[in-house]
Amino acid sequence: MQNLAWSLSLVLMAAVAAVFLWVVAGASRPPGDAAAGARAASQWRSGLFWVAIVAGIVISFATLWDWPVAGHAANAPKADVTIRATGHQFRWELDRDTVQAGQLVEFELTSADVNHGFAIYKDKKTLLTQTQAMPGYVNKLQVRFAEPGEYEVLCLEYCGLAHHGMRAVIKVVAAVK
């Protein structure tokens, strides 16, 4: 999808550049019938407007069909462990906090009050993954912790005075062979 977006951007940039060059080339021509020119330009604009609207709808449908978060997709793999996590001002409530390395863990996230950002860090400073914890919704987030260790959960959405205090730890133990 990144590559497609990049190619599409290049094509659109080339189109914009071509229009610029066309305008520059036309600037030296003597003015013709001003009213006819204005009419033609106006037709162009309304045509382009509808092209942009239709393209926007088509591109949105084509690219936003699947929820872009693992766990919500229709073909999401089945998790080995589910952890229900609820954000509160100002703490995380997890129904379990220990999993095994290599397990596919699914977080079911919600909030008891306001929006929180559920972010999992590795080594205190590397963001592994994150999503929103929202009141009235359950957001799913799938993670596979490759290595044992303590993974810190922080809040990534400013949610009040003690936002910075919303911390929890997920312990990942070595897989039982």
Does 130 interact with ligand CUA (rule: CB under 6 A)?
no
Is 79 among the residues that bind ligand CUA (CB under 6 A)?
no
Q: Which residue lies nearer to ligand CUA by CB, 79 or 134?
A: 134
* 139 lies in the binding site for ligand CUA (CB under 6 A): no
CB of 93 to ligand CUA, least distance (A): 12
Q: Which parts of the chain are beta strand (E)?
A: 81-88, 91-94, 98-100, 104-111, 116-122, 126-133, 139-144, 149-155, 167-173
Is 106 a binding residue for ligand CUA by CB under 6 A? The answer is no
Residue 87 CA to chain centroid, in angstroms? 20
Q: Give the C-alpha separation, 81 to 103, whole Å.
A: 7
Q: Closest distance between ligand CUA and the C-beta of residue 83, in Å? A: 17
Is 163 a binding residue for ligand CUA by CB under 6 A? The answer is: yes
Indicate whether 168 belongs to the interface with ligand CUA (CB under 6 A).
no
**Residues 89/108, Cβ–Cβ less than 8 Å:** no
For tokens 């590559």, name the residue: 3
Residue 159 interacting with ligand CUA (CB under 6 A): yes
